[in-house]
Amino acid sequence: MNTTPEERLTRAALELAEEHGLDFLTVRRIATHAGINPGSVYYYFSSKVELIDTVVAAAATNYLYQIRSTLGATISHSGNSENLDGDFLIYKGLHFLGYSLRCQPNHQLLVEESVRRSLRMESKISRSILLCRPTVGELAQNEVANFLKRVADLSNISWRRPVNTIARTALASVEATIRRWHGDSDTAAAIYVLDEIIDYVLADSQPN
């Protein structure tokens, strides 16, 4: 499939950033990885900042898609009929989300690195993308909230607290658990914590 130079440069920068971090990126490294003459990069991007902004936007898009597709698959595989087991759907969905983030950590880690850099105001990179409203974190939270709403509709349950509040806490807890799992590779501990998170979510549900 033919790709434009802009797409090749963005993909190359994203691959390098996911493997080595944003600080590793230079125009020469990106161009070399993309198979493009470094001197021609500025024909396609006005600056390194613009190129990295594009990379961060791509990472954020991939991260949101990862969450949406994982939780969406949980619903679609359930048969999408009424009166399903809500506890089982939530258990399966949040565990699958944890495994998905564990198996493909780079999007999450790159977005988190970008947010930290922007919040520290070390540069102008990605501030407009990551700190606008809604933020990437808020969009990710909305994906989890939509999943919880859909589960409630399918299983005839309701939520005792605002579903966005539950989703925000659940997502932050899952992300923190997976971040630690990246570091210590303690699978048994991670599964135990994920189960505790799911119990916390289920405690906020009630039958209609």
143-171 pLDDT, tens digit each: 999 999 999 988 889 999 999 999 999 99
Mean pLDDT, rounded, for 133-143: 82
The strand pairing partners of 206, in sequence order, are 158
Average pLDDT, the chain: 84
How much is the pTM?
Answer: 0.82
Q: Report the SS3 class of residue 76.
A: helix
Give 148 or 19, the one with higher predicted confidence: 148
25-79 pLDDT, tens digit each: 889 999 999 999 988 999 998 888 888 888 888 888 888 899 999 999 988 877 6
- What's the length of the chain? 208
Contacts with 24 (C-beta within 8 Å, 6 or more apart), sequence order: 16, 17
96-123 pLDDT, tens digit each: 999 988 887 777 777 777 777 665 554 5
d(CA 25, CA 107): 16
Q: Which residues of 125-160 are buried (b: 16+ CB within 10 A; e: fewer)?
A: bbbebbeeeeebbeebbbbbbbbbebbbebbebebe
pLDDT given for residue 86 in this prediction: 87
